[in-house]
Chains A and B, each alone.
Chain A
Amino acid sequence: MSGTLQFDLVAPERSLASGQASSVLIPGADGDMVAMPDHAPVVTGLRPGIVTAEIDGGVQEYVVTGGFAQITMEGATILADEALPKAEATSEFLDERIAAAKESQDDAAGAAADEAAKRVADLETLKGML
């Protein structure tokens, strides 16, 4: 089938989605990117955000809290630390993550503290998007 790529979204405890998608929006560590067929091969880290896949004209959205993604010419594989369909994500779920991130921000120093601060900000933006 032309015009689609193999899209897989897996978390450590389960596999969430697998199928042919025409495009996948990925919240990359350095900014959002859209994977389409014949994309140049990339491996990127993920920041907390929403993965949007266009499958058969419909749109599926998943909340991810981090991880990384591998994009090849044929497909996009997202290995999320934690992932769940957007409809199932609650603000309580994110509040827990934000609290944990804030805690590690308080413990960290230097560059690690900056990263932790960014994670807190990303999580809070994500919460606003729900």
Chain B
Amino acid sequence: MPSLKDLKTRIDSVKSTRKITQAMQMVAAAKLRRAEDAASAARPYAERFDAVLAGLAAGIGDDGPQLLKGTGSDQTWLLVVMTSERGLCGGFNSSIVKLAKAQAKKLVEDGKTAKILTVGKKGREQLRREYSDHFVGHVDLSEVKRVGYTNAQDIASDVLARFDAGEFDVAMIYFNKFESVISQVPQELQIIPAKIEASEDATVFDYEPGDEEILTELLPRGVATQIFAALLENGASEQGARMSAMDNATRNAGEMIDKLTIQFNRTRQAVITNELIEIISGAEAL
């Protein structure tokens, strides 16, 4: 049976934990709003970009650039796993890693090569045990306060340089799509070769300079745009996940405080009763 003093210390420590989780929840809520704004501000560009690219790709025959048509093989895959730099956000990182692991396992079973590029250290930590020999690189965003397009461009140019060097045939990105505060859905998306939905718009465009030049300009940008969109979705998801995780933690701490307080009161009562018995039995013995 813990002593009264022990219980008091426990209660105090749980109370301060609750204060911290509450503060983290509020910080996450504020950051979430900013992250959502950033994600919605970036959406018009991505949508229009896709529309232009779809119109352009429709007019290109079978001999398009490799970024669009692929290398003709699917032997080596690059998995870009995007996770957070910080923990305490519930199952956010695990769900992405789980999806990526499933794909890596499948590739290995099929006799293909899986290479992993990690963005964010939390995913790297989780993948290290099983897949550290598949790692080809890591992008550290821990110093970045607000993810900008330049961060996405840096990642994209890294990926594209590897593609040009023939290091892989297919590239996938893994991230969480933000649905709501309580729901973030892990996604896998193929970025190389580009998957373009056929456009229904049949307008025939003139291209200046030529259509091939424009396409070779556009495709690398498309990779960066997709990575940027994924980073922003991930950012919003991370804050959403952290918010609900911290909400749970705060609630659990409250429950624990209640339980401990009851135990504390009972123990105190027992001590008092004990003392009374001692006094009374002492008096009776006289």
Q: Are B217 and A45 interface neighbours, CB within 8 A? A: yes
For A79, list chain B residues within 8 Å (CB): 45, 48-49, 52
For A40, list chain B residues within 8 Å (CB): 206
Residue count of chain B within 8 Å CB distance of chain A: 29
For B225, list chain A residues within 8 Å (CB): 12
B4 interface contact, C-beta 8 A: no
A41-B42 in contact given A10-B48, A70-B52 (Cβ < 8 Å)? no
Q: Which of A8, A13, A44, A68 contacts B148 (CB 8 A)?
A: A13
Q: Are A29 and B228 interface neighbours, CB within 8 A? A: no
* Assembly CA distance A12 to B224 (angstroms): 10
For B49, list chain A residues within 8 Å (CB): 79
Residue count of chain A within 8 Å CB distance of chain B: 22
Which B residue's beta carbon lies closest to that of A74?
Answer: B203
B213 interface contact, C-beta 8 A: yes
Which A residue's beta carbon lies closest to that of B206?
Answer: A42
For B45, list chain A residues within 8 Å (CB): 10-13, 15, 79
Which A residue's beta carbon lies closest to that of B208?
Answer: A44
Which B residue's beta carbon lies closest to that of A15?
Answer: B44
Q: Are B228 and A70 interface neighbours, CB within 8 A? A: no
Interface string of B222-245 (1 = CB under 8 A from A): 001100100000000000000000
B166 interface contact, C-beta 8 A: no
* Assembly CA distance A15 to B42 (angstroms): 7
Interface string of B195-230 (1 = CB under 8 A from A): 000000001111111000110011001001100100
Min C-beta distance of A67 to chain B, whole Å = 8
What are 7 A-B residue pairs whose CB atoms fall within 8 Å in the complex? A12-B45, A12-B152, A13-B42, A41-B205, A42-B206, A42-B207, A45-B217
| Chain A positions near chain B (C-beta within 8 angstroms) | 8, 10-15, 28-30, 40-45, 68, 70, 72, 77, 79, 81
| Chain B positions near chain A (C-beta within 8 angstroms) | 38, 41-42, 44-45, 48-49, 51-52, 55-56, 148-149, 152, 203-209, 213-214, 217-218, 221, 224-225, 228
